Each structure stands twice: as structure tokens, then as C-alpha cells.
């Protein structure tokens, strides 16, 4: 069985829990409170800055020139397409306020990805970043099908359900499947654990945004 098939099968219940989260249900219905979305955007901006660095570091560890360029392209997309386009649109349109806080999930998730990219086999690092691509795409498609008319958050929805994002997701899945097929059984198991851990962090990321939770230093 391919890595993608096995990983998704093992994490289906977590994905269903993400769909049912209050944040995503209210976003789908266009009734999510602005302060909660603003906090999410702030946390996502912090996350994407670190995510881009993780992707670039993975690229530096790879030997296949095609995969190197693909991961560099992923890193560019995290900064340009998501931060400079989607985030900036909502900051200006909604005049979103910045709290200056960081959530526990933001700190924990990014720390975990940095750990994987620096201290684990590169195959494990690749598996750890895949949920960010894949879960967002699946969620975007799910929400798009039932999105309320004149939804204030439609650009966010359409971005993650769009064809451009889908191409990146499919490329990330293909790479992960390929590296899994070539890995030892030990590394294969570590890849599955990394995917599951990141998928769980995705759940907590939205939970913290909805409840405006912050990390207390």
C-alpha cells in the first residue's frame, strides 16, 4: 500500500474531527467571528514563515534536483501565494487587528517541524510537512461544496480548494509515496508517526485559534 493511502486511512478520524471543529464549521457558514479569524491569520503567518524555512531546509538535504526545485517552490508558495496574497487580502479588507501573541499550537507545531527537518531522516521530514498541504486541500474542497452564499471568507476557501494548490498537494503526495517506497521498514514507520503527529497539530492549531489561546511564557 502507498504511504498516502496508509497515512490517510490511519488519520481519517482526526480529519473528520477537523471538519467538525467549530472554527471550520463557522467559517464554512460565513459566521466565524472576525477576532477569531484575525487570530488565526496571525498564527498562520507565524507558522508559514517557519514552514517555508523547513521546506527550504528539506530541499537542502535532498539529492534529486527535481525534488530540490519542488521543495523550493513549496517554500516560495508558502510566502508568496499564502502570506502575500491571501493574508494581505484579509488584513486590508477586514482591517484585522494583531494581538502580538503566539498560540501553544503555533509554537509546538513549528518546533516539531524544525525538529524533524534537522534531526530526523529526510524521508520523515517530508512526511511531517505533508499534512499541511493535504489536510488544507481536503478541507478547502469540503467547505467549498457547502459554503454559504456571499461568504466573507470565500477567498480563503477558494485558495485551498483551487487547482494551483491541488497541483502542489499532488506533487507533495507523489514525492512522499516515492520516498516511502524506497525507505527501510524502520523509516517507513517513523514517516507514518510523523504524518500522524503533524495531522494532530493541525487539529490543535484551529482549536487554539477558535478559543484565542496563547502560549504563556
Q: How does DSSP assign 49-87, residue by residue?
A: HHHHHHHHHHHHH---HHHHHHHHHHHHHIIIIIIIIII
C-alpha cell at 160: 485551498
At 46-60, the pLDDT tens digits run 999 999 999 999 999
pLDDT at residue 41 in the model: 94
| pLDDT tens track for 189-200 | 999 999 999 999
pTM over cut 0.85: yes
Average pLDDT of the residues in 179-205: 98
Q: Compute the average pLDDT of residues 76-91.
A: 78
Tens of pLDDT, residue by residue over 84-100, are 667 888 888 888 888 99
Give the residue-averaged pLDDT of 201-205: 98
Residue 152's H or E segment, with its range, is none
Length of the chain: 217
Write the CB contacts of 113 (distance below 8 Å, at least 6 apart in sequence): 50, 51, 54, 125, 128, 129, 198
Amino acid at each position: 500500500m502507498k504511504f498516502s493511502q496508509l497515512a490517510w486511512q490511519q488519520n481519517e478520524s482526526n480529519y473528520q474531527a477537523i471538519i467538525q471543529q467549530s472554527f471550520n464549521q463557522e467559517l464554512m457558514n460565513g459566521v466565524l467571528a472576525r477576532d477569531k479569524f484575525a487570530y488565526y491569520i496571525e498564527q498562520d503567518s507565524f507558522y508559514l514563515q517557519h514552514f517555508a524555512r523547513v521546506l527550504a531546509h528539506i530541499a537542502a538535504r535532498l539529492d534529486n534536483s527535481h525534488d530540490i526545485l519542488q521543495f523550493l517552490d513549496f517554500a516560495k508558495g508558502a510566502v508568496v501565494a499564502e502570506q502575500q496574497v491571501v493574508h494581505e487580502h484579509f488584513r486590508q479588507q477586514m482591517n484585522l487587528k494583531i494581538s502580538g501573541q503566539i498560540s501553544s499550537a503555533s509554537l509546538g507545531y513549528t518546533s516539531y517541524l524544525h525538529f524533524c527537518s534537522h534531526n530526523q531522516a529526510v524521508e520523515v521530514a517530508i512526511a511531517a510537512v505533508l499534512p499541511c498541504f493535504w489536510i488544507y486541500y481536503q478541507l478547502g474542497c469540503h467547505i467549498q461544496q457547502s459554503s454559504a452564499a456571499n461568504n466573507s471568507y470565500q477567498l480563503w476557501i477558494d485558495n485551498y480548494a483551487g487547482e494551483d494548490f491541488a497541483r502542489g498537494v499532488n506533487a507533495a503526495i507523489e514525492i512522499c509515496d516515492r520516498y516511502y517506497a524506497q525507505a527501510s521498514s524502520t523509516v517507513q514507520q517513523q514517516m507514518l508517526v510523523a504524518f500522524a503527529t503533524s495531522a494532530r497539530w493541525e487539529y490543535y492549531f484551529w482549536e487554539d485559534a477558535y478559543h484565542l489561546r496563547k502560549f504563556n511564557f
